[in-house]
Each structure stands twice: as structure tokens, then as C-alpha cells.
Structure 1
Amino acid sequence: MKQRTLGRQGLTVAELGLGTMGMTAFYGTDDDRDEHVAVIRRAHELGVTMFDTAELYNQGTGANETLLGEAVAPFRDEIQIATKFGFTFDQEGSSDGHDSSPANIRRVTENSLRYLGTDVIDVLYQHRQDPAVPVEEVAGTVKELIEEGKVRYFGLSEVGPETLRRADAVHPVSVLQTEYSLFERGVESDVLPVARELGIGFVPYSPLGRGFLTSAVKPAEEYEEGDFRRYDARWQGDSYTANKRAVDQLHELASAKGVTAAQLALAWLLAQGHDIVPIPGTRSRARLEENLAAADVDLTQADLERIDSILPHGAVGDRYTPEHLPTWV
């Protein structure tokens, strides 16, 4: 797989990564740990180097980071691990607030190093902004961790242009991670241009629209309890109908090119710039192989124009419920 460089500090990774969130959190029940390990190891065999996890995905037990650490142990030095801090949790392990205080950043980092079974985290992200802690203080704490050799690169997730500038002035931000796909194009107007101005790489999460841009989509009420998509407005009512109509058109275009809609959507993201590395998540080796084959899909200018005409502004419906919708500053 081809390589891309994220940020001016020289973080070089394969052009497609792997998100592991769905292996332990937010997408319904699936406890096939052996298959999850197999997916991660198959991703490495196929050239993936960036693997994404977070404290939030641990469900209070260290589950996600421990899984990833175990899976990549045989080839740890060949890949990059990205993880995240920034939440507080209730007794059940569900997030119930924010905490990006220096003490908590250090506590989470030490836990992540232990869960992952590694002595350094390649990319450490602030998962969400903490309104009680200035981003300059966050950047300063991560800078100290980098100087101590516990972290290599500093990342932010779901922040706006002003916050990017403020953080980058304290310590260079290597990577910004935010939702970006044919379904969610909000970053294009101001966030992505500022990231590029500052020389910050961009990692789109949910690059397949949380699965809507695949062949397995169904209305919200048909997902099991605990699946995030039950509460996503894009899966509900008239929004679902409109979005399904657009995806059907993408399927037609993809079929004419001999690829899947998921491959088309990932290839579109890769075509948006060489500073972009999507991290599609999956729990299936077959789906993994389908996703990674998108790196070999060539889109013509006519293809890109047709795709833009189908979803010029993204999907219908908000990507989060109001209480969870990130506010960019």
C-alpha cells in the first residue's frame, strides 16, 4: 500500500488505516475476540500501519486497547498506534463528562501504555475539547509527554480552526481527526483549509458514514439496542429515505466501475488530498479486504463530478444527537 505523510513532523503511514472502535463499543454486541485479532493482523498483512483506538472504547475495562495491543504485539515496531484521552466515566464505563486536566492526561497515558503493552504511543489525541481546560494547557502536557519519550505525535479530534491554531502555537499538531465522508462534509469549508495551512495531516473517522455507505444499511429501528445507529438522525424517517436514495445512486455508479459503493466512497476520500488517511472500521476480514482494495480504485474527473452531484452537501440529518454534537471553535 502507498504511504502518506501526516503533518510537518513526518508521521508516515499507509494511506488507509484501521479503526477498532466497533470491536468493543457502540455498534451492537460482538464479542468474537479471535476474529477481531484476526482482522487486525490481516490488516497488517495487507499493508495497514495506522491502528486507531481510545480510552473511550475500553468500556471501563481496557478492552479495546488490550485487544489491539495483543493483536499487534508480533509486529509492534512496524506500525503506528493512535489512542485518545479526554472523558470521565461512570461505574458502568460509559462517558459522563470531559477531563483533559494535565493529571488525567498523564493517568490515561500510563493506562494506555499498560493496556497496549508498549512503551510509546505513536499518536496521542485529545478526543474532545474540555471546556474547563484551555487547549494550550492540553498541548503543553502532551508536549511534556513527547519530551519524556512516552508519545511521538500530538493529535486533536473534532476541533475548529481557532483551537487548531492555539494548540499548534504551543506544540505542533501532527494530526486532526474528525468525521469526514461523502455523508459528512462539514470540514471542507474551514477546518480542512486551516489544517492544510498549518501543515496538519487529516484522519477522517467514520469514512463510510457509520456504515450507511455500504450494502448493509437498514432503518434505525432494525438495529439492536446499544447500536449507535438507532439514535442517528440520518437513519430515521424521511432522512433515511433521502439518504438511501443517494446511496442507491452511488451503488449504480460503483457497479458500472466494477467496484462497491464502499470502495467508491473511500477512493473519493483518498482523492481529496495526499494529506488524508481514512480509518474505516470493521469486524470482518472480508469487509476489511473490500475496504483496503479502495486504494487501487482510480476515479476520473467525471466520476468525481458525478459523486459530488449525488451528495453535494453530505447526508440529510445531524450526525450526532444535540447533546453529543461537537461544537467547533
Structure 2
Amino acid sequence: MSFSNFYGEVSREEVFAILDAARDQGVSHIDTASVYGMGGSERHIGAYLAENPQARSFFHIASKGGITDRKDPNRLFNNEAAYLTEQLDNSLERLGVECIDLYYIHRRDPSVPIEEVTETLAGFIKLGKIGGFGYSEISPTSLRAAHAVHPVAALQSEYSLSTRTPELGILQTCADLGTTFVAFSPVGRSLLTDAPHGREAVQSMPFLANNPRFMEPNLSMNIKAAAGFRALAAQMGLTAAGLAIAWCLAKGDHILPIPGTRNLDHFKALVAGANYGLSAEELAAVEAALPMGWINGDRYSEAQWAGPERYA
């Protein structure tokens, strides 16, 4: 998402620098989507692969489809086979690849049974267009229903020290089924970093400006509440974002955090966190600094809640 305009303008040079650094550091998983910059993120990645063809065998590419262009307010999501086929083909073209390693349903369309959607995705595997598939923001029961039709490679949802709802069922279901849990926003959209977005920065980002956690007084309260966590990270020789990544990885072998950045220094700090390896005592100290329920405000506004399945 950071390779699009979601958090502000991004240049091709910034994208290429991050992808170069990823290869240098052994970070091989890229997660994008058709709606990130209305194809812009995929085009940036495709341009990089075109200039660096040897990188294709290194990177494991994930993308997502199923969200409409939102011109029709009555149809925000479309999981019908014809629409998903069109979305997938467009993503393949923008990325300049013959196969996407992991393809997600970005948001579930309740008008199409998930078993039917899973059959469509399994068909894409048979055609050689994708290597595996996953779902984003679905419930444990939906995951089990899909998995009964075909093994689901990955389930993606928000998970961090500030969003721990997945611990109420989906993490356990993924472990039970052998499905990788992919944690997006693992640094809490900046709240779990050393430089959380302030009021002025938030106002320039439409999503955050309307997000309960970034609206006052919640924003100031959240920044203050995380002060002890930032101090703990410094004591451990990590940035706060690096410690947030270390915590996420310590919560389960089947958990893969996908932080986003366009800043090389931030990227290196995230990698340092991934390489750290928390002890049991350090894990306990982190959770004491930010105990369950410390955050002020819901993770989404009512409008932003359109799509994710609530199950707890």
C-alpha cells in the first residue's frame, strides 16, 4: 500500500530503492493489490521486475482483487467469477508476470457463497495463473467453509499490539488448518513507531483523518499511552516499529507481518526487529507496556468497517 498514494505521493525511485534493499536483506515477500493507487502499486512493481528480470525468481508476489471501483455505492465488492478473472488478468498485466504466487480475495462479497468463490480461485491455480490463494478479513467460520473446498494458503487481517482481535479465533483457526496468518498494519499505522503521525500529518491522509484512533482526543491519548513502549524499545536497542515486528513474530510460527514503508531507514529498522527474536521475559515486558485493550478508539469508522467480517 505504501507503493501507492494512500499515505502520500510516492516516486518510482523510492519504490525501486526499497525493492533493492529488500533483495539485499533477504526480504522476499511483496504484498500489493489492484486497488492500491488504482493499479499504481502493481505498475511500480511491474516496472521494477521489467528492469530487474532476475528479481522475479527471488520475490514471492501477493496481490488482491474483489473490490470494485466504487462507482456503484450498492456494489463495493464483487466476487463473481467473471469479475475476479478480469481483475486477476489486469493484475498479471500490470505486474508483467505469468503467475501471481499468492492471490487474495480482498474483501468478501456476501452475495456469492464463499464455497463458490473458492472454486473460482482453485480454477485459477489449475490454469497456472496463481500459485495459491487466500482471503482477507474473513471470520474463522468462513475460513473453515472455504478450506473444506480447497486448502487456503493464507488469511490476511490487521494484527498488532493495538489490534488483537485475531487472538479471539482466527489465529487459532489458521494454526489448526495450516493457513499462514498475514498481519497487516503491524506497526499500528504509525502508533507503534517512534514518530507517530501527529494531527497535521493525519489531516493530509483521508483514511486516517476519519479513523477513530487518529481523531482527537484519541490520537493524543494513544501517543501518550505508547510512551512506555517506545522507551522499552530504546532500552532493547530497537526502534518501536522494530519491537512491534519482533512481538508479532513471537506470537506464532504461522504469523507473517507485512509492514509497509517507502523509507530506507524505516525499512532497515523493521528488518532489525524481524531478526531480533524476543525472549519470554522480553515478550512479557512488551505486553506489560501495552496490555490488551490499551488503545483508544475502534480500528475502523462505521464507513471503514464495510467489508471485514466481524466475528467477536
Q: How many Å separate the matches in 2 of 1:250 and 1:207?
A: 14
Whether 1:273 aligns to 2:255 is no
Match of 2:212 in 1: 233
| Cα RMSD for the two superposed structures | 1.9
Q: How many residues align?
A: 305
Whether 1:218 aligns to 2:197 is yes
Q: How many Å separate the matches in 1 of 2:10 and 2:241?
A: 25
Match of 1:203 in 2: 182
Cα shift at 1:310: 2.5
For the Cα contact (< 8 Å) 2:229–2:290, is it kept in 1?
no
Question: More relative contact order in 1 or in 2 (CA 8 Å, sep 6+)?
Answer: 1
Cα shift at 1:97: 0.7
For the Cα contact (< 8 Å) 1:205–1:278, is it kept in 2?
yes
Q: How many Å separate the matches in 1 of 2:6 and 2:237?
A: 32
Q: How many Å separate the matches in 2 of 1:223 and 1:95?
A: 29
Alignment partner for residue 275 of structure 2, among 285, 296, 301? Answer: 296
Change (3 A) 1:84 1:275: same
Q: Secondary structure at the match of 1:204?
A: strand
Q: Secondary structure at the match of 2:2?
A: helix
Deviates more, 1:298-307 or 1:162-171: 298-307
Summarize deviations over 1:4-46 as a string: whole Å, max 9, x none.
xxxxxxxxxxxxxxxxx02213212x23221111112211221
Alignment partner for residue 79 of structure 1, among 52, 55, 59? Answer: 59
Q: Which amino acid aligns with 2:275?
A: D
Cα shift at 1:94: 11
Whether 1:48 aligns to 2:27 is yes
For the Cα contact (< 8 Å) 1:113–1:121, is it kept in 2?
yes
Q: Which amino acid aligns with 1:70?
A: A
Match of 1:63 in 2: 40
Cα shift at 1:228: 2.1
Q: How many Å separate the matches in 1 of 2:249 and 2:32?
A: 21
Change (3 A) 1:167 1:41: same
For the Cα contact (< 8 Å) 1:23–1:64, is it kept in 2?
yes
Unmatched 5+ stretches in structure 2 = none
Q: Which amino acid aligns with 1:26?
A: F
Change (3 A) 1:218 1:210: closer
Alignment partner for residue 134 of structure 1, among 110, 113, 137? Answer: 113
* TM-score normalised by length of structure 2: 0.92
Alignment partner for residue 324 of structure 1, among 281, 300, 304? Answer: 304
For the Cα contact (< 8 Å) 1:269–1:278, is it kept in 2?
yes
Whether 1:102 aligns to 2:84 is no
Q: How many Å separate the matches in 1 of 2:120 and 2:143?
A: 16
Match of 1:27 in 2: 7
For the Cα contact (< 8 Å) 1:220–1:231, is it kept in 2?
no
Provide the identity percentage: 38
Match of 1:10 in 2: none
Q: How many Å separate the matches in 2 of 1:270 and 1:261?
A: 14
Q: How many Å separate the matches in 2 of 1:304 and 1:39?
A: 29
Q: How many Å separate the matches in 1 of 2:94 and 2:136?
A: 21
Q: Secondary structure at the match of 2:260?
A: coil
For the Cα contact (< 8 Å) 1:40–1:72, is it kept in 2?
no
For the Cα contact (< 8 Å) 1:155–1:177, is it kept in 2?
yes
